[in-house]
């Protein structure tokens, strides 16, 4: 086996190993980010559900106030319902905006993964091609 071929093979192997390590590192970071993203998404959903329960409770209080009578009680219950609905709308808007940002960030990261996968696989292909190449033995 020629020294030139061996040196080229080692160079290609080192490059392939480095590209695969970069890919492994990307995946490790991505897994950690996925945990954080999932936790934040769950938190946003919980906030939205809590706000929705407050709307339902406020509706119940308004219904009760209407049955019991009393303009002041009805007015107060209606104001509570309106505030609960505003809070729900705000929680929903926040959840939608942040979930969209999280989704866009995850999608952008996938693009980076695919680019790194291509580099790693191309480097591995170069190693294989070198093994197939004629050598001066």
Show pLDDT as tens, one digit a residue, over the chain (137 residues). Answer: 578 888 999 999 999 999 999 999 999 999 999 999 999 999 999 999 999 999 999 999 999 999 988 999 999 999 999 999 999 999 999 999 999 999 999 999 999 999 999 999 999 999 999 888 877 65
Residue that is written with structure tokens 């980010």 in the block: 33
Q: What homologous superfamily is domain 3-132 in, according to CATH?
A: Helix Hairpins (1.10.287.620)
What pLDDT does residue 136 have?
A: 67
Using N-to-C axis directions, what is the helix angle for 71-132 and 3-68, rounded to 10°?
A: 170
This prediction has a pTM of 0.73
pLDDT reported for residue 10: 94
pLDDT value, residue 69: 80
- Per domain, the residue ranges of the chain are 3-132
Query: 68 CB contacts (<8 Å, ≥6 apart)?
Result: none
pLDDT of res. 3:
84
């Amino acid at each position: 086996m020629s020294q030139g071929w061996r040196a080229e093979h080692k160079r290609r192997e080192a490059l392939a190993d480095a590209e695969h390590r970069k890919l492994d590192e990307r995946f490790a970071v991505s897994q950690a980010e996925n945990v954080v993203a999932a936790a934040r998404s769950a938190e946003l959903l919980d906030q939205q559900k809590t706000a929705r329960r407050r709307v339902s409770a406020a509706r119940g209080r308004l219904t009760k106030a209407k049955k019991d009578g009393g303009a002041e009680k009805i007015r107060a219950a209606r104001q509570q319902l309106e505030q609960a609905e505003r809070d729900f709308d705000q929680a929903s808007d926040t959840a939608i905006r942040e979930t969209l940002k999280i989704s866009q960030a995850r999608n952008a990261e996938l693009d980076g993964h695919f680019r790194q996968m291509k580099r790693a696989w191309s480097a591995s292909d170069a190693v294989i091609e070198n093994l197939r190449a004629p050598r001066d033995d």
